[in-house]
Amino acid sequence: MIDFEEALKKFRRGKFVLIYDFEEREGETDFAIPAIHVTPKEVAKMRIDGGGLICVAIHPKAANKLGLPFMHDILRVASEKMPEIKKIAKADDIKYDSRSSFSLWVNHRRTFTGITDNDRAMTIKRIGEAVDAVMLGKNFDFGSEFRSPGHVAILRAADNLIYERVGQTELSIALAEMAGIAPAVAICEMLDAESGKALSKQDAVRYAEENDIPFIDGKTIVQNYREFREVNVKIFS
């Protein structure tokens, strides 16, 4: 199995890694790839070999600068005008977490239907470029390039990343931070057509080995990210 540093190098170069969260959480393995490197080929791979929902996780600072709130906050405000959606907006019964990371679903304005591999690749890549721009202090008019609803789900990472929540959203953004790249990552769950469940960890590891893709578990990311943050705090303090 490829070690963590080698996995980080591949991820930095725009290659896929597989991230497994935790047995006691979702128990799922996700494809993860920097959004700015996504082409139709990568969308097709996630769609065919993964089979789950193709999303883009983004850093909370970028979400704030781009004006992308959590969907549960949008629904809470909307339910004040439309009380019939209050029950739908109530989501305190998630069995593996306290809340969802979902923000808006978008299509780039240059897409047609938004669902094709070409269209989703365009949307994902441009989200990555938007995040890169605002994290570098540049302005980006999100509404001029994207419309909602759309076919690409944006996931907003928790403010304190893995110190607050350890979902695939936070794990992938922590990985991007350590790689020193734009913190926008396309992710997609790996599903099992035979069992109807998430692909088992054993089968995900086998897939990783057969396809030369690094496999990283959540504990490894959490441990390395804590060390990464400690080093950076010492350097800049």
134-169 pLDDT, tens digit per residue, is 999 999 999 999 999 999 999 999 999 999 999 999
Instruction: Indicate whether 235 pLDDT > 60.
Output: no
- The larger pLDDT score, comparing residue 98 to residue 23, is at 23
Two tokens, residue 117: 């591999």
Q: Give the pLDDT score at 218.
A: 95
Q: Known catalytic residue: 227?
A: no
Average pLDDT (204-212) is 97
Q: Known catalytic residue: 224?
A: no
**HEC assignment per residue over 12-41:** HCCCCEEEECCCCCCCCEEEEEEHHHCCHH
Give the chain's domain count. Answer: 1
Number of C-beta neighbours around residue 177 at 10 A: 16
Express as a percent the part of the chain with pLDDT over 70: 94
Helix (H, G, I), strand (E, B) or coil at 67: coil
Which range of residues forms the domain containing residue 140?
4-236
Set 96, 97, 159, 192: catalytic member:
96
Set 42, 189, 217, 224: catalytic member:
189
CATH number at 59 reads: 3.90.870.10
Q: What is the pLDDT of residues 67-89, one digit of tens each?
A: 999 999 999 899 999 988 888 87
Set 59, 107, 117, 225: catalytic member:
107
What is the Cα–Cα distance from 234 to 237, expressed in whole angstroms? 5
The answer to whether the CB of 27 falls within 8 A of the CB of 21 is: yes
Set 118, 145, 151, 207: catalytic member:
151
Q: Give pTM, 2 decimals.
A: 0.93
Instruction: Indicate whether 217 pLDDT > 50.
Output: yes
Q: Known catalytic residue: 55?
A: yes
Average pLDDT, the chain: 93
Set 26, 30, 132, 170: catalytic member:
30
Which candidate, 86, 234, 98, 78, places its Cα nearest to that of 158?
Answer: 98
- C-alpha count within 13 angstroms, C-beta hemisphere, residue 136: 11
Average pLDDT (42-63) is 98
What is the Cα–Cα distance from 101 to 223, expressed in whole angstroms? 22
Confidence label for 237 from pLDDT (cuts 50, 70 and 90): very low
Q: Known catalytic residue: 107?
A: yes
Q: Give the pLDDT score at 236.
A: 41
Average pLDDT (13-40) is 94
Average pLDDT (221-232) is 91
What is the Cα–Cα distance from 38 to 129, expressed in whole angstroms? 11
Confidence label for 93 from pLDDT (cuts 50, 70 and 90): low
Q: Give the pLDDT score at 96.
A: 62
Instruction: Indicate whether 40 pLDDT > 90.
Output: yes
